[in-house]
Chains A and B, each alone.
Chain A
Amino acid sequence: MARKKPQGKKSKKAEVEEETPDLESVDQGENSDGSSQYSYDGSDGDGSQQEDEGSDVYVSDAYDDDDDFEDQGSSDEDEELMEKQHEDDGSGDEMNELEDLEQTYESAPRKWKSGKRSATGNPRKGTAESQLMHTDDLSSDDEDEDGTGNRIGRVPLHWYDDLEHIGYDGHGKKVAKSASKTEGDRVDQAIANADNQLTGKFVVHDALNDKSVELTQRQLEIIRRIQNGAYAHPEHDGNPDYIDYFSGVDPELSGLNDNRYLPKSKFQPSKWEKMQVDNLLRKLEQGYISMDYLTGKVRDMNDANKNKDPNAPFLLWTGAEEDELNMKKGPQHIAAPKVAPPGHAESYIPPNEYVPTEEELKEWEEMEPKDRPHGLLVPKKFPNLRSVGAYKHSVREAFERCLDLYLCPRVMKRRLNIDPESLVPKLPKASDLRPFPTAKCIEYKTPYDGDDAPVIRCVSCSPNGQFLASGASDGIVRLWEVETGRLLRSWDLSKVSKSVDPDCDEDDDSIKPVVSLEWNPNAAHHCMLAAVGKCAILLATGTEGVHDAAITEALLSEAKTGGNIKTEKAAKAVKWHSVKSESKPVSSFGLSSGPICALLTRNEVASLRWHTKGDYFVTVSPKAGAPSVLIHQLSKGNSQQPFSKAKGEAQTACFHPSKPFLFVATQQHVRVYHLVKQAMVKRLISGCRWISSLDVHPSGDHLIVGSLDRRMIWFDLDLSHTPFKTLKYHERALRSTKFHNRYPLMASASDDGAVHVFHSMVYSDLMRNPLIIPVKILRGHSIQKKLGVLNLSFHPTQPWLFTAGADGRIFLYQDI
């Protein structure tokens, strides 16, 4: 072999470093032979061709029996050498097959020389540095114990190519090149290789020492194992049998280790906790809670909001809130209840009043111990402390206390600390909601004979606001001037009613009260309606001017002639009787004044209402059965009976101001009928027991209902068939509820003698709820025979209110 080996490993290392990318391994799987053995070329190539190769150990597949091979102990170096040898072989003639093999080696990734391999057998990437280190680690100088080996270190071997020696040994003597190698030629090498193959030897050439080393079977096995990625040493057992050292309890049988494998959920974060944390974070962002609340500094956010003072001093360097949170973990400590301190009864000389008499003792014995005044203790006087014996109940009491502490669950009672004021919604001040009626201004004095003033049952104001009509229990409708309180006219309708009614005797002295009264809401129609007995009586007020006279006359012409009812059914239910009256009109242009026509129904008329336009009106006679609700048209003198069957006892009825709807209130419900479609649209459930009055907001979308069980109920017709709000302010039954036509006002009159005025703002924005605020309680009427204020009526243009009382007085309340 012509190769010259440089002395010194350092140079070798450097060489290796340079050559690292080209380092190749012998991979068994890649072997083109398919044999499990390494193919090799045991012969050395021409040394001059391989001078640049650093590590010159050749691994030969042939089993060479050459003795001049030494075990290098470093597999890396072996492989490098082997590789080198392959190259040499490639240059040679005989080993074509090996050349092919080498090509395959070249193409395959063979980085396993880094010293480690993955379990799959693929070579692992490694740096040249680590490879060298590894080489160093594994190459041991101890093999050269006598110091005869080459000790040149890692210097390039070709430095010694021209010299006779290949280096120096441990004693400084030259190591001579082996003659056989230097002298031998390729023929010899080929022969030797062939021999080795035959004998199954594996010979490697140690270029450093210029020797051929024959690898032992063990070394080959190690190489093979390393190549396979197994433990290098054959004697190492990678998978020893499990020795169960724990001998106490059989885990399978005992069940202690039953679920050896924890479920997946144990390792995953809790979704529930995440939701809670998210929830808290959301609240925190929105400001419902603060960090103080989360860390437990504040127990109740209501307190926190109340006590928050923006100018209060604060600690600049706090921020260890997490620490405090950690400190407050766990259930809160609940102190045990304290034992009551001993009293006089426990004294050994209790005062005499504590010492029980014999009767008391007997009484105590019959009682349960806990009901006794001193429990088990019986106070007793002792002459001195010395004579006080052991307390016989001490053990029992201690035991009971222990039981109490142990068994009785104690909970920290979180007192709900809510300021009651904060629950009340913020309402605007009443003074900001002016104007509304506040003070009694004018009294309309009803003249009467005898002691008792007639009960004023109803009032109504003319549409222009100058006249007021009142109906009293003496059957007289009176016409007043609003401004001065002057009585202008009075018409006795009781007589009219009786004269019309065929059932009434002429001698009957009973007086029919005017139950209901309403002025025609149309300003051009100067007439009004009064309900007296079984009649609804139409009165001409005689207040019209030049123009209105003609309009009113045209309107009333049919009524004056007695009406012409078209349908038979309605004709049975109601009859129009024209009435003559000699009353002089207030106005010189007025053509008629006083009762004109009486509409006789089958039973007592309780309520009547005009339609806003002043042509139609509805009368309600609750006890009349099916024809209890009748709709009349004044201009045509016609009557209609809209319902063929009575659904409950109708109490009052009312027209929608703009749409063809009719609201009919029975005792507990309000039904809404569509008059054109002739169908029920809605049934409003009031929740009260007896509806007494009904009024529709001028917008037509809201309804108020007064009931005899003290409630005023507000319905939002767009919202629901149940009450939007139920107001229960009065102490007695409600008699009348009304909306103001122009101002956002409503009022309720009650038998408790008071009138409640509310600010009732309705917004055109459908999203905003109506604003209902009580603004004033008007008192002034006295209660007579359990009747208070029986009716009220707003002034059509001013925020003024007329009230009619059972004490016979009519008041005008103004905004002052």
Chain B
Amino acid sequence: MPDSDSDSSNEGFQVRVALKLASTVENRSLEVPTEPIAVPADIGRKGLSAVVNHLLGRSVGDNDDSDNDSKSDADEEDDDKAQLNFEFIVSGTNNRLLRKGVEREARQHGISLEEAIPITYFPASNVPDLSEEKEELPDWVSSLSSSGSLLFSGCYDGTVHVYRNDQQALKEVHSVTVSSGPIKCLDTTVHKDQTWVATASLDHTLSIHTCDSKGKSMQAFGECIHEGFSCTTSSLNFCSAPSQLLASGGGNGTICLWDVTNAGNDGTDAAPKKRKTSSGKKSLLAQIRPTAVLQSAHSQLVSGVSWGNHSKDNATTLISGSWDHSIKLWDVERQDCLLTLNGSRVVACLDTSYHSEGVVATGHPDCTIRLWDVRTNQSNQSSVVSDKTFRPSHKAWVSCVQWSQTNAFHLVSSSHDGTVKLWDIRSSNPLHTVKVFGKEEKGLCLNYQASAEDGPKVFVGGSDCSIKCISF
């Protein structure tokens, strides 16, 4: 590892940088002296990373940089002194991650090279690791949802499989046939020590099941029935505690809200009663009526609904995306559309950020992920899609996009091209790309699990009838 002085003598032109550890990083041992140091002008992320490692005395003799990126991650836990990768943000560059040389970045944003350039750094996210093991399922996996340590997966044969997420491997706990048709989407929530599972199937049914905390038994609770709701439910989202409202978007543009968890308690309407289903079997099921129906909320299929804020207790806003190219923000109590943002492409999937309110990521069939600002309290209503945030890096239809619960900047996406990509919204290119599926197999759904002790995990399901796990 050559030191910075020798570097500069080789390159000729240098800039001075002042490195500073980001304040959000808890591990303050990574701090380096803030005195400006001279580095080659065209030094990039890797070079600066090496400089920081050198300053920290983390250099490992026989590991060179390129090796470090790909291989040494496994050793990191073992060797405290192993090299780390860092991300850098040149201050004044609109909070963009450093991807080009320092000089180019600075010139582009009009930062003077005369003075020391302040650069914030923080440890880079780990290289994702695709575990070899995979859980075989009988059919395509169309939806995944996790609640606590349980992972629920909806399948194209109409079954829901429950997995317990223990240490390294998934363990199938239970499976139940929920509907006659393929399950299109699934969402879960925890209420009254039970996990409530809502599944929507292509056969136009929306059924609610309850599951105990172990996942051992799963019982049908009820069916959501709405007379006008005659189309396939294409998206589901449970509101978090305490209201536990379920929002569903339909194939004909309707959005319905269901008070599922309270359905058994109040009113005679939702009381369990005998009903003859179309398939002829008798069942003791609650018939749940929608608490609110947003008729013709969209003109076409509603492909994504998401409650406006994951974190807050009482959700009042709902965000929906549709095939009619628009994103709409709804006030649930007033049943009123607050904001309509029109894009140019079909919205295939949608998720709202856990950390910052009003930030929505959408996946589109044109291989692109777009970020939307749906805040309405701004004076100017020009809050529109930022088309340039991400480059179209996927090669096919983006089927699912989900924000990281832990990192406000990260989101993961899966696509029909069989890859899963980790994105940082401060960079237009993905941080990491994992080829999860083989050729011509489509990724259909993913679930980001943050709570596990061994770092965040992403479960991916798709058309190769298996669930795969990526650990970050």
Task: Please give me the residue from chain A that is nearest to B442 by CB atom.
Answer: A484
Task: Tell me if A587 and B202 are in contact (CB < 8 A).
Answer: yes
Q: Using a CB-CB cutoff of 8 Å, which residues 364-391 of chain B contact chain A?
A: 365-367
Q: If the complex has contacts A465-B300, A486-B140, A546-B230, are A797 and B323 also in contact, measured as CB distance less than 8 A? A: yes
Task: Please give me the residue from chain B that is nearest to A545 by CB atom.
Answer: B230
Q: How far is the CA of A466 from the CA of B250 in the complex (A)?
A: 12
Q: How far is the CA of A465 from the CA of B182 in the complex (A)?
A: 18
Q: In this assembly, does B122 line the interface, its C-beta being within 8 Å of a C-beta of chain A? A: no
Task: Tell me if A545 and B205 are in contact (CB < 8 A).
Answer: no
Q: How far is the CA of A589 from the CA of B277 in the complex (A)?
A: 9
- A590 partner residues in chain B, CB cutoff 8 A: 203
Q: Choose among A445, A466, A798 the residue that contacts B251 (Cβ–Cβ < 8 A).
A: A466
Q: In the complex, what's the smallest C-beta–C-beta distance from A416 to chain B, in angstroms? A: 46
Q: Using a CB-CB cutoff of 8 Å, which residues 418-443 of chain A contact chain B?
A: 434-435, 441-443
Q: In the complex, what's the smallest C-beta–C-beta distance from B324 to chain A, in angstroms? A: 8
Q: Using a CB-CB cutoff of 8 Å, which residues 512-546 of chain A contact chain B?
A: 544-546
Task: Tell me if B231 and A545 are in contact (CB < 8 A).
Answer: yes
Q: How far is the CA of A191 from the CA of B22 in the complex (A)?
A: 160
Task: Please give me the residue from chain A that is nearest to B253 by CB atom.
Answer: A464
Q: If the complex has contacts A586-B181, A798-B323, are A547 and B230 also in contact, measured as CB distance less than 8 A? A: yes
Task: Please give me the residue from chain B that is nearest to A438 by CB atom.
Answer: B366
Q: In the complex, what's the smallest C-beta–C-beta distance from B83 to chain A, in angstroms? A: 40
Q: If the complex has contacts A441-B365, A441-B397, A816-B366, are A588 and B228 also in contact, measured as CB distance less than 8 A? A: no
Task: Tell me if A486 and B182 are in contact (CB < 8 A).
Answer: yes
Task: Tell me if A484 and B181 are in contact (CB < 8 A).
Answer: no
Q: In this assembly, does A106 line the interface, its C-beta being within 8 Å of a C-beta of chain B? A: no
Q: Using a CB-CB cutoff of 8 Å, which residues 216-236 of chain B contact chain A?
A: 227-232
Task: Tell me if A545 and B323 are in contact (CB < 8 A).
Answer: no
Q: Using a CB-CB cutoff of 8 Å, which residues 264-322 of chain B contact chain A?
A: 277-279, 300-301
Q: In the complex, what's the smallest C-beta–C-beta distance from B125 to chain A, in angstroms? A: 29
Q: In this assembly, does B346 line the interface, its C-beta being within 8 Å of a C-beta of chain A? A: yes
Q: If the complex has contacts A441-B396, A442-B397, A587-B202, are A798 and B346 also in contact, measured as CB distance less than 8 A? A: yes
Q: In this assembly, does B94 line the interface, its C-beta being within 8 Å of a C-beta of chain A? A: no
Q: How far is the CA of A548 from the CA of B416 in the complex (A)?
A: 32
Q: In this assembly, does B189 line the interface, its C-beta being within 8 Å of a C-beta of chain A? A: no
Q: How far is the CA of A584 from the CA of B181 in the complex (A)?
A: 10
Q: Choose among A466, A546, A586, A816 the residue that contacts B367 (Cβ–Cβ < 8 A).
A: A816
Q: In this assembly, does B330 line the interface, its C-beta being within 8 Å of a C-beta of chain A? A: no
Q: In this assembly, does A126 line the interface, its C-beta being within 8 Å of a C-beta of chain B? A: no
Q: In the complex, what's the smallest C-beta–C-beta distance from B239 to chain A, in angstroms? A: 25
Task: Tell me if A435 and B344 are in contact (CB < 8 A).
Answer: yes
Q: How far is the CA of A23 from the CA of B346 in the complex (A)?
A: 115
Q: 0/1 per residue, A272-307, Cβ < 8 Å to B? A: 000000000000000000000000000000000000
- A797 partner residues in chain B, CB cutoff 8 A: 300, 323-324
Task: Tell me if A545 and B204 are in contact (CB < 8 A).
Answer: yes
Task: Tell me if A587 and B442 are in contact (CB < 8 A).
Answer: no
Q: Choose among B181, B229, B231 the residue that contacts A464 (Cβ–Cβ < 8 A).
A: B231
Task: Please give me the residue from chain A that is nearest to B346 by CB atom.
Answer: A798
Q: How far is the CA of A441 from the CA of B182 in the complex (A)?
A: 22
Tell me the interface secondary structure of chain B in the complex.
Answer: loop
Q: How far is the CA of A481 from the CA of B416 in the complex (A)?
A: 14
Q: How far is the CA of A481 from the CA of B442 in the complex (A)?
A: 14
Q: How far is the CA of A483 from the CA of B365 in the complex (A)?
A: 9
Task: Tell me if B365 and A464 are in contact (CB < 8 A).
Answer: no
Task: Tell me if A484 and B231 are in contact (CB < 8 A).
Answer: no
Query: Count the B residues whose beta carbon is within 8 Å of the partner chain — how many?
Result: 43
Q: How far is the CA of A584 from the CA of B280 in the complex (A)?
A: 13
Q: How far is the CA of A442 from the CA of B348 in the complex (A)?
A: 14
Q: In this assembly, does B180 line the interface, its C-beta being within 8 Å of a C-beta of chain A? A: yes
Task: Tell me if B301 and A466 are in contact (CB < 8 A).
Answer: yes
- B153 partner residues in chain A, CB cutoff 8 A: none
- B416 partner residues in chain A, CB cutoff 8 A: 441-442, 484
Q: If the complex has contacts A588-B179, A798-B323, are A486 and B204 also in contact, measured as CB distance less than 8 A? A: no
Q: 0/1 per residue, B416-442, Cβ < 8 Å to A? A: 100000000000000000000000101
Q: In this assembly, does B238 line the interface, its C-beta being within 8 Å of a C-beta of chain A? A: no
Task: Tell me if B323 and A465 are in contact (CB < 8 A).
Answer: yes
Q: How far is the CA of A545 from the CA of B252 in the complex (A)?
A: 11
Q: In the complex, what's the smallest C-beta–C-beta distance from A660 to chain B, in angstroms? A: 30
Q: Using a CB-CB cutoff of 8 Å, which residues 468-526 of chain A contact chain B?
A: 481, 483-486, 488
Task: Tell me if B397 and A547 are in contact (CB < 8 A).
Answer: no
Q: In the complex, what's the smallest C-beta–C-beta distance from A500 to chain B, in angstroms? A: 29
Task: Tell me if A815 and B366 are in contact (CB < 8 A).
Answer: yes
Task: Tell me if A548 and B463 are in contact (CB < 8 A).
Answer: no
Q: In the complex, what's the smallest C-beta–C-beta distance from A442 to chain B, in angstroms? A: 7
Q: Choose among A486, A546, A548, A815 the residue that contacts B156 (Cβ–Cβ < 8 A).
A: A486
Task: Please give me the residue from chain A that is nearest to B142 by CB atom.
Answer: A484
- B228 partner residues in chain A, CB cutoff 8 A: 547
Q: In this assembly, does B246 line the interface, its C-beta being within 8 Å of a C-beta of chain A? A: no
Q: In the complex, what's the smallest C-beta–C-beta distance from A590 to chain B, in angstroms? A: 8
Q: Using a CB-CB cutoff of 8 Å, which residues 434-456 of chain A contact chain B?
A: 434-435, 441-443, 445
Q: In the complex, what's the smallest C-beta–C-beta distance from B443 to chain A, in angstroms? A: 11
Task: Please give me the residue from chain B that is nearest to A542 by CB atom.
Answer: B203
Task: Tell me if A484 and B140 are in contact (CB < 8 A).
Answer: yes
Q: In the complex, what's the smallest C-beta–C-beta distance from A485 to chain B, in angstroms? A: 7
- A589 partner residues in chain B, CB cutoff 8 A: 203-204, 230, 278
- B252 partner residues in chain A, CB cutoff 8 A: 464
Task: Tell me if B397 and A481 are in contact (CB < 8 A).
Answer: no
Task: Tell me if A481 and B202 are in contact (CB < 8 A).
Answer: yes
Q: Using a CB-CB cutoff of 8 Å, which residues 318-367 of chain B contact chain A?
A: 323-324, 344-346, 348, 365-367
| Most chain A CB within a 10 A radius of its CB, from B179, B344, B345 | B345
- A443 partner residues in chain B, CB cutoff 8 A: 440
- A481 partner residues in chain B, CB cutoff 8 A: 182, 202
Q: In this assembly, does A814 line the interface, its C-beta being within 8 Å of a C-beta of chain B? A: yes
Q: How far is the CA of A485 from the CA of B463 in the complex (A)?
A: 10
Task: Please give me the residue from chain A that is nearest to B223 by CB atom.
Answer: A588
Task: Tell me if A814 and B366 are in contact (CB < 8 A).
Answer: yes
| Most chain A CB within a 10 A radius of its CB, from B366, B367, B392, B440 | B366
Q: If the complex has contacts A441-B365, A465-B301, A547-B227, are A587 and B203 also in contact, measured as CB distance less than 8 A? A: yes
Q: In the complex, what's the smallest C-beta–C-beta distance from A589 to chain B, in angstroms? A: 5
Task: Please give me the residue from chain B that is nearest to A544 by CB atom.
Answer: B230
- A466 partner residues in chain B, CB cutoff 8 A: 232, 251, 301
Task: Please give me the residue from chain A that is nearest to B250 by CB atom.
Answer: A545
Task: Tell me if A586 and B202 are in contact (CB < 8 A).
Answer: yes
Q: 0/1 per residue, A797-816, Cβ < 8 Å to B? A: 11000000000000000111
Q: In the complex, what's the smallest C-beta–C-beta distance from B82 to chain A, in angstroms? A: 42
Task: Tell me if B140 and A588 are in contact (CB < 8 A).
Answer: no
Task: Tell me if B301 and A464 are in contact (CB < 8 A).
Answer: yes
Q: In the complex, what's the smallest C-beta–C-beta distance from B403 to chain A, in angstroms? A: 22
Q: In the complex, what's the smallest C-beta–C-beta distance from A187 to chain B, in angstroms? A: 134
Q: In the complex, what's the smallest C-beta–C-beta distance from A718 to chain B, in angstroms? A: 31
Q: How far is the CA of A485 from the CA of B180 in the complex (A)?
A: 19
Q: In the complex, what's the smallest C-beta–C-beta distance from B408 to chain A, in angstroms? A: 30
Q: In the complex, what's the smallest C-beta–C-beta distance from B289 to chain A, in angstroms? A: 14
* Complex A-B: 20 CB contacts under 8 Å: A434-B344, A435-B344, A441-B397, A442-B416, A445-B440, A464-B252, A484-B399, A484-B444, A545-B204, A546-B204, A588-B180, A588-B277, A589-B203, A589-B230, A797-B300, A797-B324, A798-B323, A798-B346, A814-B365, A814-B366
Q: Which residues on A are within 8 Å of B, measured CB to CB?
A: 434-435, 441-443, 445, 464-466, 481, 483-486, 488, 544-548, 584-590, 797-798, 814-816
Q: Which 9 residue pairs spanning A and B have beta carbons closest together?
A: A545-B230, A588-B203, A816-B366, A547-B230, A587-B204, A587-B203, A546-B230, A588-B278, A545-B204
Q: A484-B140, A484-B442, A588-B179 are in contact. List 19 more A-B contacts (CB 8 A).
A: A442-B416, A443-B440, A464-B231, A481-B202, A483-B348, A486-B156, A544-B230, A545-B231, A545-B232, A546-B204, A584-B180, A586-B203, A587-B202, A587-B232, A588-B180, A588-B181, A588-B204, A588-B277, A589-B204
Q: Which residues on B are within 8 Å of A, measured CB to CB?
A: 140, 142, 156, 179-182, 201-205, 227-232, 251-252, 277-279, 300-301, 323-324, 344-346, 348, 365-367, 392, 396-397, 399, 416, 440, 442, 444, 463
